[in-house]
A = this chain, B = another copy of it.
Amino acid sequence: MGKPLILITNDDGIAAKGIDALIRSMIQFGDVVVVAPDKPQSGMGHAITVNHPLRMDRSKIFPDIEAYSTTGTPVDCVKLGIYEVLKRKPDLLVSGINHGANFSTNVLYSGTMSAAVEGAMENIPSIGFSLCDFAADADFSGAQKIVAEVTELVLRNQFPHHICLNVNIPKLPANEIKGVKFCKQAAAYWDDRFEQRQDPFGHSYYWLTGKFQEIETEEDTDLHYINEGYATIVPTQFDMTAHAAIEELKNWK
């Protein structure tokens, strides 16, 4: 096999520092094509654009890289990348590096991870990378070390069908990250609050804020290992069936 064809996207937008870091890591491994949102699309989850048309333009933001910016969501970018740009499935799909953690139930809200889940639905080996640092000017050097390690692992091994990897990286210098742990997503949720404000015209509006709360503390979770200084890899699927509950529900009277 020749060099792998790698499709790159993210949810922070094509101008974010994190996707630049990811591209720099990926050009060592294969031929890179970028299809990314033209603006921040954080928190877009698995949204797709159905109520208005999509636009996609060639971007000159990365010299020497074939890159496109779109008006769509991260999942739209994956679909456009496969069906309009590449006209084939890439050998690898990577999303990120996200500015901010996507461990635990954040996987549901995350555009970064939804892009990877969309790749899994297409049966493409897919990885979402997130650094636990929301700052626009975050230091991605530690993350890039993990990105390289995980990508090497993925290219060397048989990727399971119809899953993707959710990789979270602690906000630490490269030499202080203790290693990589395969584990499960922590049971947690956002204890939401809204901050209500008045606009200059006397109308109220809300900002969503919140505190991340664990439902139960367990050791074999991404949240636990991140707090211990490890990078985490959670194999992530798109089957949301609560299989164990089916028989329980059949007994309902």
Name A residues whose Cβ lies closer than 8 Å to a Cβ of B. Answer: 40, 42-51, 53-56, 73, 75-76, 79-80, 82-84, 105, 107-109, 114, 117, 121-122, 153, 156-157, 160, 162-163, 182-185, 187, 189-190, 192-194, 196-197, 203-208, 215, 233-243, 245-246, 248-250, 252-253
A245 CB contacts on chain B under 8 angstroms: 160, 163, 235, 237
A50 CB contacts on chain B under 8 angstroms: 42-43, 208
- State A2–B237 Cα separation when bound (angstroms): 40
Known A-B contacts A153-B252, A184-B246; the reply to A54 vs B237 at CB < 8 A is no
Known A-B contacts A185-B240, A235-B242, A238-B105; the reply to A192 vs B83 at CB < 8 A is yes
How distant is A127 from chain B, measured CB to nearest CB, in Å?
12
A235 CB contacts on chain B under 8 angstroms: 241-242, 245-246, 249
Known A-B contacts A163-B242, A241-B184, A249-B182; the reply to A49 vs B236 at CB < 8 A is no
- State A192–B239 Cα separation when bound (angstroms): 19
A194 CB contacts on chain B under 8 angstroms: 54, 79-80, 83-84
Which residue in B48, B187, B203, B248 is a CB contact (below 8 Å) of A45?
A: B48
Known A-B contacts A44-B45, A48-B208, A105-B238; the reply to A182 vs B79 at CB < 8 A is no
Tell me if A's interface is mostly helix, strand, loop or mixed: mixed
- Select from chain B the residue with minimum beta-carbon distance to A239: B185
B240-A108 in contact (CB<8A)? yes
A153 CB contacts on chain B under 8 angstroms: 252
How distant is A51 from chain B, measured CB to nearest CB, in Å?
6
A196 CB contacts on chain B under 8 angstroms: 84
B42-A45 in contact (CB<8A)? no
**Which 10 pairs from chain A and chain B are nearest by CB?**
A45-B46, A235-B245, A53-B205, A237-B242, A235-B242, A45-B45, A184-B241, A43-B50, A47-B47, A54-B206
- State A55–B201 Cα separation when bound (angstroms): 13
How distant is A83 from chain B, measured CB to nearest CB, in Å?
5
A250 CB contacts on chain B under 8 angstroms: 182
How distant is A187 from chain B, measured CB to nearest CB, in Å?
7
New A-B contacts (12) at CB < 8 Å, excluding given A44-B47, A53-B207: A42-B51, A46-B47, A47-B47, A108-B121, A117-B240, A160-B249, A162-B215, A163-B242, A182-B246, A182-B250, A184-B243, A235-B241
